[in-house]
Structure 1
Amino acid sequence: MHHRKHQKKKKNWIPTLVILILMILVVSELYLLFFQNHSNSVSQNNTTKPNVKTSQSITRLTKDAQHAENFNQEVKPTSDLAKQIDQKLSDNQFIGTALIIKDGQIILQKGFGYANFGKQLPNTYQSLFQIGSIQKGMTATLILKQIQAGRLSLDETLDHFYPTIPDSQNITIRQLLSMTSGLCQKVKATNMMSDDAFLRFAFSNVTMGDYGKFKYDAINYFLLVGILEKLTDASYQQLFHQMFNQHLQLSHTMFYNNFLTSNNRTYAYARTNGKDFSSEIKDKPLLFNQEVGTGNIAMTTGDLYLFYYNLLEGKIVDHQTMNTLWTPETQKGYMGGVYNFSNYVQGHGVEEGFETNAFISKDTKNSVILFTNEYPGAKIYQELSKNIFDLLGSY
């Protein structure tokens, strides 16, 4: 009897033991799950931290002018030379954006005055300005690409493309590039039209002046645009986009219509009696509509330098082709959209309150680029740009 009671008492411990074992298993499982998740979290944190540092090191900007990303910053003057130039710009009441490069380093890139005076928005390194006739240098570059490819030559005559143009059998591609063809456009368009329609209108209103003598007239470059389109079976805008926006990756370069809606656009102003921003110069779409290949592009200072840098370094057109254009005979003269000197080139453009001045050494180490949205008239900023350029080296 006693033995049976003892057995029953023993059996009462079995459910308790089972519950205890189950609890231990559950706790162990929970611990393992927690530990594994914690380890994965630590592991992920340890692997992402170096990537963050690597990303930061890749995007960290320097002052090296050979890399496009380094123009995406304001560069305040730190050296004595940069401070001297900055003061010179202020003393001359410069309005716009200035980019100065010395020995391949950006020593100054900043805005002066306002991009939009009414809204008190300042000019910055991101500001877009109309570059005017400097675009002709880009059109000339597209022509040189065709010459390098063997589809065209500098000595080819205009009659191969436009035989009805006066004296076209005597006018060469070289003469169009140097504006020594003698051609003039006698009538200007008075209404908006497509690029194709405008070119047809311009070519039907050409007259001959003094053959062989320099005369600055946009008709020469309108004809070059037409030749490009005949050679490639593509529009000028397509060719421009492929070369400069895609190939060179100039992401702050655009045609006039896109400029009008850009948040970074500038507005042009007139200075009256020494007073800045005294009146706004209204947008004139009709005028810019008539600048096909000759003056309807907006850029930042950085993008313009990158264009000249790639051109002079032979990264767009090879040096052999460039040397056939820039011969000793063309020095100190206009050729291919720039004024060519022995050791530097000069670009200049003026249009409806905008002015662009660019001086770049042929070794690309030194450069002065001044964009203004308040053209002061005469050659004030041209002379200022050259004076600053002379501070960078012997030119």
Structure 2
Amino acid sequence: MSWFKSRLKTCTINFGHDRWLIQIRVRIFDSKYRKSPPFSICKIINAPHENLCKCLYNTFTLEPFRIVYNERRIKRQNVGGGTTLKDAKRLWLTMLFILVTAVGVGLTLRDQLQRHVKQTQSAMKHQQLPSKREPKIEPAKPQESQSVKRLEVNKAPAIDQYLNLLNFSGTALIVKNQHVVLNKGYGLANLQKKLSNTATTRYLIGSAEKAFVATAILQLVDQGRLKLDDSISKTISDFPNGQTITVRQLLNHTSGITGRQQTNVVTTPQAMLAEIERNGIQREPGVWHYLDANYIVLANVISKVGHQNLHQYLQQHVIKPLGLTSTGFYNDNEVQDPSFSTGYKIVNRQLQVPPKPEFSQLYGVGDMFMSTWDMYQFDRAISRHQLFSQAGYDEMIRPGSASHYGMGFYNDPGLIVSHGVVDGWNVSNGFTHDGNTFIVLFSNIQNNIASFGRVNQEILNRLSTIQ
């Protein structure tokens, strides 16, 4: 009885979606080691990969046409003179084993390729689309932990002496190269109760709140929900000259609006916006004129675009992510807290408590309080681009006019600074352009310091001797 051996010369498998093109090239040997010329077999199979083996068996062993075709071809080549149907089946079973092995390798390679393509596409998608998740806040360094804010630190006796000579009343926090060099209270937080200012005393920050409003706007810009050069009419349709005034011009006080007068009457953000609209414009946009009204309008923009009022937005997107536990918005209950300072004003060389303003009139422009430590945490996040993008930071500190005012901050030669004055309180807050030095000075005497600019410069000079 004759027998056959087959030698696989090549096997090519191409696959698509449930479609297989299989091509083999073989040579046949009989018992006398006579060989046939190489010949090819090609077959297209339409089948899902889980049924492929069954289809291969049917195609190459049971299909009569294929068996007869190859049996006749072998005979024409004078190989195995006694070829039988059983012998041919044995041959094709051998070939089937080779094919199944090759197909298994092909399936494995295909699956690995598909997984790699999906992972690559997913990575590219995440890189291209702007993220709408909350920004990742870098945790504080060990030397900046929450326990540090409660400790009074004085590693800068020259600066401490200077502030004492100024009769500074408030809290001073100075950080250089991620190390707290001064964190100390000066004077009294409450004269009547003889309570001292400490490292954790809270103060109203006045117009320094504008930096928080600007932060909210820049976050919405990063999310693609707003553009700095959008006309204000896109958000507030009937705003006067709204087709010409942009969000950017409101941020840097070049909108040209007339504004409004602050009163002691309880009001709402919507009522103040309506008053600003009624008062119309004073000039065409482009000329710097500092007005609280610009940021009152922006607070209303945040409410419309962010779908929550300014206080809610800042709590969710700035205050809570940064862990600002001594920050909030003024209400009468806060005054009863011993950590809340009383504001004073020097009148005829005497300290007096000025009448408190109606804080609903200061929505977005002066109704916020915080500690110096919380302000430092905010500054630190701003300088490290943790609350919004590098592009947003560049816009924030870029002067919009000769005034050096950007968006909530002044870009001065030595410091990026914000200021705030509200009846009884005066604050200065700044950090160097490289983000390595922070100077936060909160005072509960409104007019005790003639120029915080000069004070900041003197502190920078004295810091130069501290490593």
Cross-structure match for 1:282? 355
Q: Which residue of 1 aligns with 2:81?
A: none
Deviates more, 1:135-144 or 1:225-234: 225-234
Give the AA of the match of 2:353.
Answer: E
How big is the shift at 1:249?
1.2
Alpha carbons of structure 1 residues 373 and 210: separation in structure 2 relative to 1, 3 Å: farther
Please, which of 214, 224, 228 is the counterpart of residue 302 of structure 2?
A: 228
8 Å CA contact 1:268, 1:373 repeated in 2: yes
Select which of 125, 134, 153 maps to 2:208: 134
* C-alpha contact (below 8 Å) 1:165/1:203 kept by paired residues: yes
Offset at 1:376?
2.1
Cα pair distance change 1:232/1:215, threshold 3 Å: same
Residue identity matched to 1:99? L
Q: Deviations over 1:233-272 (max 9, x none)?
A: 1111110111233111100001011533433111111224
Partner in structure 2 of residue 267 of structure 1 = 342
Q: Relative to 1, partners in 2 of residues 1:62 and 1:221: Cα closer, same or farther, differing over 3 Å? A: closer
> Taking structure 1 as reference, are residues 377 and 111 closer, same or farther at Cα in structure 2, changes over 3 Å only?
closer
- Root-mean-square deviation (CA), in Å? 2.4
What are the within-5 Å matches in structure 2 for residues 37-52 of structure 1? Answer: none
Q: 3-state DSSP class of the match of 2:237?
A: coil
Match of 1:19 in 2: none
Letter in 2 for 1:135: E
Residue 322 (structure 1) shift: 1.9
The answer (yes or no) to whether the contact 1:256–1:298 under 8 Å persists in 2 is yes
User: Are 2:368 and 1:293 aligned?
Assistant: no
Cα distance in 1 between the residues matched to 2:413 and 2:142? 27
**Which structure carries more helix by proportion?**
1
Equivalent position of 2:421 in the other structure? 350
Structure 2 distance, partners of 1:372, 1:336, is 23
The code of the aligned residue for 1:262 comes to: D
User: Which deviations, in whole Å up to 9, do the C-alpha atoms of 1:205-233 show, x marking residues without a partner?
Assistant: 34323531110001111111111111121
Identical positions, percent: 28
CA pair 187-273 structure 1, distance change in 2 beyond 3 A: closer
Q: 2:389 is matched with which residue?
A: 318
Alignment partners' CA distance in 2, 1:196 and 1:323: 31
Alignment of 1:188-227 (within 5 A): 188-209=262-283, 211-227=285-301
1:263-305 deviations in Å (ceiling 9; x for gaps): 3111111224545xx3222333x1x211111111010000001
**Structure number with higher relative contact order (C-alpha < 8 Å, ≥ 6 residues apart):** 1
Please state whether the residue corresponding to 2:281 is helix, strand or coil.
strand
Which amino acid in structure 2 is aligned with residue 100 of structure 1?
Answer: I
- When structure 1 is superposed on structure 2, of 370-379 and 196-205 the one drifting more is 196-205
Find the counterpart in structure 1 of residue 196 from structure 2.
Answer: 122
Counterpart residue type for residue 341 of structure 2: T
2:296–2:364 Cα contact (<8 Å) kept: yes
* Superposition TM-score, scaled by structure 2 size: 0.65
CA distance in 1, matches of 2:344, 2:278: 35
CA distance in 2, matches of 1:382, 1:328: 18
Give distance in 2, aligned partners of 1:324 and 1:62.
Answer: 28
* Kept in 2: contact 1:102–1:366 (CA 8 A): yes
Rounded Cα–Cα distance in structure 2 between residues aligned with 1:62 and 1:310: 13
1:369-384 equivalences in 2 (<5 Å):
369-376=440-447, 379-384=450-455
Distance 1:274 1:92, change over 3 A: farther
Q: Which moves more between the two structures, 332-341 or 168-177?
A: 332-341
Residues 1-395 of structure 1: pairs in structure 2 closer than 5 A: 64-65=143-144, 67-75=145-153, 77-78=154-155, 82-209=156-283, 211-257=285-331, 259-275=334-350, 278-284=351-357, 286=358, 288-327=359-398, 333-341=404-412, 344-376=415-447, 379-393=450-464
Instruction: Judge conservation of contact 1:104–1:364 (CA < 8 Å) in 2.
Output: no
8 Å CA contact 1:63, 1:70 repeated in 2? no
Separation in 1, partners of 2:354, 2:428: 20
Between Structure 1 and Structure 2, whose CA radius of gyration is higher? 2
Contact 1:103 1:365 in 2 (8 A): yes
Shift of the 248–83 alpha-carbon distance from structure 1 to 2, 3 Å rule, reads same
Mapped partners of 2:441, 2:382: distance in 1: 19
Q: Provide TM-score, normalisation by structure 1.
A: 0.76
Shift of 1:323: 2.1
The structure-2 alpha-carbon separation of the partners of 1:240 and 1:203, relative to structure 1 and needing over 3 Å to count, comes to farther
Inter-partner Cα distance in structure 2 for 1:159 and 1:170: 8
